[in-house]
Structures are given as C-alpha cells and as structure tokens.
C-alpha cells in the first residue's frame, strides 16, 4: 500500500507532533475542542523526509558547511547549490494525487472551488515542525489568486480594495518565498507607491495603488524568474515544495544546530493547507497574537496584540504598531470574551501558557494556531508556580516546566541604580538582562566581530528570520520597530538574549551603519547599553549589579529541595562567595580554594619565601606569620556558613604559579646591572626559581606531594583552619570543618600527611584552646589511580570529592587550556566529541571512573560521604548522571547553586517517570 501522507484535521491525532508537526497538532486539537478553526489538511513530516531522500547525502553535506557559518561568498554559493538540488526534486509518489483529493474535499466543505473565477477558494500553505522554530520556516498566504480569481474575490466579498490587497500580498510572498526573489525589490516598489499616494500606513493606499503594486510585482517576477504562475494548482505545487525547502534554508539549519534540535526530536516539517480567513477585509477584521498569561511578567491576564486590516505576517514583522489586547477588549468585548474562553481552555488542556494566533474576519473569530509560549525566565518561573497553586499542574510538573537555563538567566545582571545613568530612549522590554556591546547593524558583521572576541549589540530597524545567526553572535538586540510578539522579541526570549524592541525614538540607518537619537549620532563600534528588564537604552557602558532571587523562584526551589536526592553545596574562594552561596540555598561549601587568600601582597611575599626556602627551619620561620594572616579569612567564612559543612582544600596548584617567571627576574638583573646596583640577591632568586622550575608542573610538585615533601606546610595550613574553628566554637558558633587533601594517587600519601601534618595540628589546637573539634579528613579524587584504588583509600578517609576538572584532564590526557583553545572546537564540529568534556561530564570515560569509585567507596566504607566539586557539579546534564551514581552531593559555583538545586530535583522526578534527562520547555 502507498504511504498515507495527507490527513484532515478531524481524522488525525494531536498527540503525534512528530508526524503532524506542532502547528498541525494545534489545528487538530483546536478543531476537536470545538473552537472555530478554518478547515484544512496536513501533509505529514514523512512526506517531507521522503521528498529529500533521493539526494539526502548531498543535502547533508551542504547543511554541515552552512552550520559552520562560512564567509558570505562561500555561504551564498552553498545556498544556491542547496536550493538547486532541492528544486530538482519531485514530490514522493502518491503525494500530489492525495493533495488534489483533499483539496476537492476542502472545496466541498467550504462551498467554493479552487481556481474558480466566480467563487474562488483560497488557502494558506504553512510550515510546522515537531518543535517550535519561530520564523525559521516559510508560509504562503492567499494562495489561489490570479488575474481572474481576484475579480471573483472582489465580487464575492463586495470589497475590491480587500481583494487587491490580498493579491499584492500574495504576489509579493510567492515571489519572495517560493521563487526566492530578494524581498527588497518588492518592498522598495511598495514604499514608492505609498509615497506616490501619500499613504503613511498600508491600509491608506487606494485600490489604484494596489493594482499598480500587483502589476509592478509581476514585472519583478518576470524579470527575475519568468511569468508569474496563473494556474492555482501550479501555485500550490510550488508552494508545498517551497515549504519543504524551508526546512533546509540557512536560518533553519542554524537554528536547529544552535538549539540542539536533532533528528530524533524533529526531522522535517509538515505542511498545513488551510482555508484562508481574512484579517484585511476592513476595520471589523484583523489579526493578532495573544498569550494566556503575560510572557514578560507571568501575570495571569491575557497579553498580546491585535492589528486591524492586516494579515498574520504584519504582526510578527513589526512593520506597523499594533494595539494591545486591552484595547481590543474595549473595541470588541464579545470577541474578547470568546477569545479569553478559548485561550484559557487551551491552557488547561495543554497545562502550559499558550501562544495563540487568531484572525477576525468581518466580526467572526478564528483560531489559527496554538503552542506553548516562549517566555522570559521571570514569567516562566512565576507561571509554573502559579499554575501549580491553581491546581492546573502538579508541583513536580512545575519543577519540570522551568529549565536550569531559565534559573541562570534570572540571575542576569541589571542596571546598577547607583550609576544614575539616564536613558536616551525607551522601547519594549522584550527579553531580560542588562548588557553593553559595540553597535553593529548587520547580522554578518555581528558574527564576524564576535569571532574576533568583541561584544556586539545588533541594532536593526526590525529583524527578519534570516538575521538569526546575528542574534546568537550578539550579546543583545535592539530594534526601532516591532512589538512584544515581533520576531525579534520571540527569538530573543527563546534563546535567552537581552532585547529591547520598538524603541521608536531611535532612527536606525542600516545602510549607513548609524543610529540617531536625541540629536546624537552613534556609529558602528560605539558602545551602547540596553536593559531588557525595563526597555531602557543608554549610550556607553553602564555598570550592572547582580539580582536577588525572586519569591516565586525561591518557592519553586524549596519544592525542588523537597524532591531531590542529591545535596547541593558551593565552591568558594572568599567570604563573599560563601555569603552568596548561602543566600542561594547551598547547604555548605563543597570546595573552599585557599589559593586566592595568598594573593594579597604581604601574604604573597611570605608564601614566596616559604617556597624559596632551602630548609625546614627557614620555611617554618615564614609559615608562622603566614598562617596567622590566613586564620582570619577562614574564621570569616566559617562564620558565614555557621552550622553547615565547609570543606577546605589544602594548597593544590603547582608552586611555580606563586613565583616570578625566570625571564622576569633576568630582566630585573639586567636593569640592576645597568643601574650599577648589587645583583647578588637577584642572582640567587634567579637560580632558585630555575631550580624549582618543572618540565610539566601540572603533573609535578603540587597538591599532596607538597604536603609529603614539606609536611610543615600542611601542618601550618591545617593549624590556621583549626584555630579559626576553635575560636568560633569558644565564641558560641558551630563551625563544621572538613579538610581535603588534593592530588592523591596512593593511600599511603593520605596516611603520611595526616600523621605528619593534619593530626599534629589538630592535637596542638585542641590542647591550646581546650576544645574538642570534630573534623572530617578526606581527599579530592582527581587522579585515575585514586579511582582504581578506592577500595584502599575509602577506608582511610571520612569523605571523597571528585575533582572532575583535573580528572577529565587525566583521563583524556588533555591540557584543558591548550585543548579548549586549540582543538576542542574542531572536535565538536567534526563530532569526534559530542560536548566539551570540561563543561559536560564525559559519561563513557570519566563517568565510568566516577561511578566505579563512588560505588567502591560506599561498599568498603558505608559511612563515607561522596561529593563532586569540579565545574560539572553545576552542569545540568552532568548532575543527572551524578544522580544515578553513589554520589551524595554536588558542589557548584555560587551563582549556579539555584540551577543545581533545580536540576537535581528534575533528575529525581524524571527517574521516577522513566525519563532520560533533566529537560524542560
């Protein structure tokens, strides 16, 4: 049997988004819920896949090239070749016959005939993948119009102006989307006609101007392509192929790559052929986009825009300023009530905030599409919590609604109120975050400048889907036109970029690469700051501050804490880090790095003397004052974390990092000699630094090896830690101190530094202060041998914590700095690696060691505590893996603590549901 490629809305299953696409699924669902939906049918994603199959290998090769964002000349040649290949393809066998059959069914239902000059049926041909890709693929409206049917439409509706407005739109759209003609040719002519007839807005152009536009648009097509197709069936065939082709347009390819939309998630687009309803019939008609809640703030009220005498593309293109939905309510109260009921029904059915497209034709409301809304992180969190409290969703569902990235974005900076900066313009706050960047006016320039390491702000009059690569390259987006549902706003919210849109007091000259505001002219490269939280625009770089946790996020994270198995601690360097971590809900410090404590000049000088000392006595002489300086820092951090565990890692980095470079000392010798000064001390320093130099310091004299060779070093560091705890205990505090030994590869190393450094310090402090200290001693697991000999190590320690950064280096034999700068980007591009192993844990290699060592540790020492303190402790995908092992807690940087709390809960919930990983909208 031939494959079934075509389905009516009534006969399909809206739950099968993979087959029918998101847009098709919404049309099916809305039809079955009894909402007024224009009739139509869906061509499945299977048809699209089979369309590409004959030349799939060539197409995939060109897709891979375009994903690399090659130079414009290479890109344009690749696009030309790609489209040439696609245009040579035929529809899969049986598809066209099915389309014709279903068009005849549609004719019978609508009571109109496709191509009939007296009573024409017009349709839209719309794309729709399994996941939302706003503006990335193509749609054709008003299909079926030609020189004859336009007269029939005018007669049928009694509105010649409307008929020719629809025709000029169709010829323009068909030329741009189906035939691939540059839209600037059409828009240039249209602006010229508007000037000719003194029309500021499109609806003001008289019917004579519309007829002139149609003829001039057809002339453009004749010159660029050939005669405009007058046969509606040929128009439909070409439009379906064009929608298939849009799956592989450059912006769609780039969007899928940037958002990790793999073939198992969405592997082609469906095509929706829908009876046209017209928002441009008159002032009792229009088109709009509405959200079931405010997508900026999360407030429980309809939020959106409506544009009278318009069709759908007018709203998202931002070429005219729409009225907000409150104004729509005042003008059309009965329509608003019907819209409200439908939107809220969809929200309840889909258990999420809905983004609904609708059209009003002569006072009658039609629902055209619904999907889960793209929201600001603030709105995403607030709506999830509110909907759980309202009983629409469960607490677990609320936790899964919010992605860890949403949490991270909520911690984006905002403008520092102390800066007293005065905005020069105000637009709509489309996507949150305050950011400064150098102005660029073209997406290609944004990519080029970003590759050079510059922070760029993309400024456009209005954005188009083809600009998406510039969005990803820029730190923020600014437009002078458009509303909260414009393309710029939707995409910026989707990818988490700060954006201000519709700043109408700003004049943007894209061709001249200039921005004019309040009599000032800014050019490419000038610095501008935007605040996506307020919509304000500033000239220059404005200072920012970190935000606080909003109440709804705090509540959501408390729900997450009730669910998760994994504990969450924080990595810290100083007291401020500890304070932030505690505020964000960390249940202790999983890694206190003491290296930064040495960076103060007087301390660094003493530390250098310790390192350069040639005997034990000399080292002790300098360690005595040094440990007293460090004690105050420890005391402050323990006080901040009072009652919670603090794991202090003894000194870890190679000692050479604290010494001057030999070449620097040599330069000082030359300068001293030239000045006639004595150089004996400098020469001694040079010889000593050279003597301490190592061929591979990261694998040399560092970590526990320093404690073994210089046990007095670990003794005095431990004494500083323990005296701080003893003093606090005497003052009535409850410090919980744990000491961690780094870079261990053999259990004997642990025994040695405990017996010769840590335990003697503990004994001395307890005697001196007359207090009993309960101190855990553990090790950081960051060598392969430590993992493999965990059966011995775990018996000797109270806890272990995986230092996954160094462990990853050891397993891969990579130097992180060299790898990330030299070859990891290429490894990712060539798919040798699926992810940067320093960002997301390598489960197959490093993960196996973690799993084995954690399991072994628990078997030989059931009371042992197992943690992770590398950067992977703040990565959601890595957290999901750790959840499945014997790891007890993860430790993340302070600002990633809320993210880790959420991801750990999502891992627990998804495990219960049989899911694969922490995923959210």
* Confidence at residue 774, expressed as pLDDT on a 0 to 100 scale: 92
Q: Looking at the whole model, is its pTM more than 0.85?
A: no
Across 506-527, average pLDDT: 94
* pLDDT band, very low/low/confident/very high, at 920 (cuts 50, 70, 90): very low
* Confidence at residue 759, expressed as pLDDT on a 0 to 100 scale: 97
Longest CA–CA separation in the chain, Å: 106
* Confidence at residue 312, expressed as pLDDT on a 0 to 100 scale: 65
Nearest to 909 by CA among 404, 387, 397: 397
Across 427-450, average pLDDT: 91
* Confidence at residue 365, expressed as pLDDT on a 0 to 100 scale: 96
How much of the chain, in percent, has pLDDT values that exceed 70?
97
| Lowest-confidence region among 368-377, 732-741, 820-829, 853-862 | 820-829
Across 801-820, average pLDDT: 88
Check residues 604 and 402 and name the one with the higher pLDDT. 402
Query: What are the phi and psi torsion angles at 685 (to 5°)?
Result: -60, -45
* Confidence at residue 848, expressed as pLDDT on a 0 to 100 scale: 97
CA quadruple 616, 617, 619, 621: dihedral, nearest 10: 160
- Three-state DSSP at 719 gives helix
The per-residue pLDDT of the chain, averaged, comes to: 91
Verify whether residue 487 is a known catalytic residue. yes
Catalytic residue among 487, 622, 872, 883: 487
* Confidence at residue 282, expressed as pLDDT on a 0 to 100 scale: 77
* Confidence at residue 598, expressed as pLDDT on a 0 to 100 scale: 83
* pLDDT band, very low/low/confident/very high, at 919 (cuts 50, 70, 90): very low
* Confidence at residue 201, expressed as pLDDT on a 0 to 100 scale: 87
Distance CA 831, CA 841 (A): 16
| Lowest-confidence region among 106-120, 169-183, 538-552 | 538-552
Nearest to 635 by CA among 627, 581, 760, 766: 627
Distance CA 651, CA 780 (A): 12
* Confidence at residue 677, expressed as pLDDT on a 0 to 100 scale: 87
Distance CA 658, CA 605 (A): 9
Cα-to-chain-centroid distance, residue 22: 21
Please state whether beta strands 865-868 and 476-479 pair in parallel, antiparallel, or not at all (unpaired): unpaired
Distance CA 426, CA 503 (A): 6
Across 775-783, average pLDDT: 97
Residue 483 has pLDDT above 80, yes or no: no
700-728 pLDDT, tens digit per residue, is 778 999 999 999 999 999 999 999 999 99
Please state whether beta strands 269-275 and 123-129 pair in parallel, antiparallel, or not at all (unpaired): antiparallel
* Confidence at residue 314, expressed as pLDDT on a 0 to 100 scale: 63
Distance CA 690, CA 471 (A): 49
Verify whether residue 869 is a known catalytic residue. yes
* Confidence at residue 918, expressed as pLDDT on a 0 to 100 scale: 42
Distance CA 384, CA 372 (A): 12
Residue 558 has pLDDT above 90, yes or no: yes
- The structure tokens listed for 800 are 């272990």
List Cβ neighbours of 740 (8 Å cut-off, separation of 6 or more).
591, 647, 648, 649, 650, 778, 779, 780, 799, 801
Distance CA 76, CA 249 (A): 11
* Confidence at residue 494, expressed as pLDDT on a 0 to 100 scale: 66
């Amino acid at each position: 049997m031939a494959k079934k490629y075509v389905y009516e809305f009534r006969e399909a299953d809206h739950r099968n988004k993979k087959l029918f696409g998101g847009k098709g699924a919404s049309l099916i669902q809305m039809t079955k819920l009894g909402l007024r939906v224009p009739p139509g049918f869906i061509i499945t994603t299977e048809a699209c896949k089979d369309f590409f199959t004959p030349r799939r290998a060539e197409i995939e090769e060109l897709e891979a090239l375009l994903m690399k964002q090659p130079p414009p000349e290479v890109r344009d040649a690749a696009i030309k070749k790609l489209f040439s290949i696609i245009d040579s393809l035929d529809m899969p066998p049986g598809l066209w016959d099915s389309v014709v059959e279903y068009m005849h069914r549609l004719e019978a239902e609508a009571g109109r005939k496709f191509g009939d000059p007296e009573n024409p049926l017009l349709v839209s041909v719309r794309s729709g993948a399994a996941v939302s890709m706003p503006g990335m693929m193509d749609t054709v409206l008003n299909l079926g119009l030609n020189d004859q049917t336009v007269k029939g439409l005018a007669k049928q509706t009694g509105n010649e102006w409307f008929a020719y407005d629809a025709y000029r739109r169709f010829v323009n759209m068909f030329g741009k989307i189906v035939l691939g003609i540059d839209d600037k040719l059409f828009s240039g002519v249209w602006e010229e006609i508007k000037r000719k007839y003194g029309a500021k807005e499109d609806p003001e152009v008289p019917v004579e101007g519309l007829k002139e536009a149609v003829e001039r648009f057809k002339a453009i097509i004749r010159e660029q392509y050939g005669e405009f197709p007058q046969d509606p069936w040929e128009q439909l065939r070409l439009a379906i192929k064009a929608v298939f082709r849009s799956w592989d347009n450059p912006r769609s390819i780039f969007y899928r790559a940037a958002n990790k939309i793999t073939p198992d998630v969405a592997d082609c687009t469906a095509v929706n052929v829908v009876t046209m309803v017209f928002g441009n019939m008159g002032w009792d008609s229009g088109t709009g986009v509405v959200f079931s809640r405010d997508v900026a703030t999360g407030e429980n009220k309809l939020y959106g825009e409506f544009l009278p005498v318009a069709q759908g593309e007018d709203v998202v293109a931002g070429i005219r300023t729409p009225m907000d939905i409150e104004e729509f309510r005042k003008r059309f109260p009965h329509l608003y009530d019907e819209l409200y009921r439908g939107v809220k029904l969809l929200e309840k059915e889909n258990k999420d905030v809905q983004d609904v497209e609708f059209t009003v034709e002569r006072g009658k409301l039609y629902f055209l599409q619904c999907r889960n809304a793209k929201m600001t992180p603030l709105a995403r969190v607030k709506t999830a919590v509110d909907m759980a409290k309202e009983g629409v969703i469960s607490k677990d569902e609320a936790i899964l609604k919010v992605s860890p990235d949403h949490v991270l974005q909520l911690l984006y900076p905002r403008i520092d109120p102390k800066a007293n900066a005065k905005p020069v313009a105000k637009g709509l706050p489309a996507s949150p975050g305050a950011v400064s960047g150098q102005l660029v006016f073209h997406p290609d320039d944004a990519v080029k400048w970003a590759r050079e390491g510059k922070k760029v702000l993309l400024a456009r009059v209005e954005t188009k889907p083809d600009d998406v690569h510039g969005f990803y390259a820029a730190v923020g987006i600014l437009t002078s036109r458009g509303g909260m549902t414009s393309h710029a706003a939707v995409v910026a919210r989707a990818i988490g970029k700060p954006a201000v849109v519709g700043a109408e007091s700003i004049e943007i000259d894209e061709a001249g690469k200039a921005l004019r505001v309040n009599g000032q002219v800014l050019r490419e490269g000038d610095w501008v700051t935007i605040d996506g939280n307020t919509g304000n625009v500033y000239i220059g770089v404005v200072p920012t501050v970190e935000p606080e946790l909003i109440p709804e996020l705090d509540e959501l994270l408390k729900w997450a804490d009730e669910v998760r198995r994994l504990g969450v601690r924080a990595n810290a360097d100083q007291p401020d880090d500890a304070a932030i971590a505690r505020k964000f809900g960390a249940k202790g410090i999983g890694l206190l790095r003491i290296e930064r404590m040495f960076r103060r000049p007087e301390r660094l000088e003493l530390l250098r003397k310790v390192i350069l000392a040639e005997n034990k006595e000399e080292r002790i002489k300098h360690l005595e004052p040094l440990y007293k300086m460090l004690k105050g820092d420890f005391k402050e951090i323990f006080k901040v974390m009072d009652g919670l565990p603090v794991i202090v890692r003894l000194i870890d980095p190679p000692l050479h990092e604290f010494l001057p470079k030999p070449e620097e000392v040599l330069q000082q010798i030359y300068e001293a000699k030239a000045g006639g000064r004595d150089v004996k001390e400098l020469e001694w320093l040079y010889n000593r630094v050279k003597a301490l130099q190592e061929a591979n310091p990261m694998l040399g004299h560092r970590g526990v090896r320093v404690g073994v060779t210089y046990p007095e070093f670990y003794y005095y560091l431990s004494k500083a830690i323990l005296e701080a705890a003893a003093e606090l205990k005497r003052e009535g505090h409850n410090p919980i101190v744990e000491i961690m030994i780094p870079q261990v590869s053999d259990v004997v190393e642990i025994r040695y530094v405990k017996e010769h450094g840590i335990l003697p310090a503990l004994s001395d402090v307890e005697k001196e202060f007359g207090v009993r200290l309960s101190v855990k001693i553990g090790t950081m697991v960051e060598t392969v041998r430590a993992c493999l000999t965990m059966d011995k190590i775990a018996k000797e320690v109270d806890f272990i914590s995986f230092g996954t950064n160094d462990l990853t280096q050891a397993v891969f034999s990579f130097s992180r700095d060299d790898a990330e700068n030299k070859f990891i980007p290429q490894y990712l591009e060539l798919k040798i690696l699926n992810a940067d192993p320093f960002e997301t844990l390598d489960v197959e290699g490093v993960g196996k060691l973690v799993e084995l060592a954690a399991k072994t540790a628990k078997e030989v020492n059931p009371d042992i505590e197992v943690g992770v303190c590398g950067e992977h402790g703040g990565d959601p995908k890595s957290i999901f893996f750790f959840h499945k092992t014997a790891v007890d807690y993860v430790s993340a940087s302070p600002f990633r603590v809320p993210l880790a709390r959420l991801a750990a809960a999502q891992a627990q919930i998804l495990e219960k549901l049989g899911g694969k990983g922490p995923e959210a909208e």
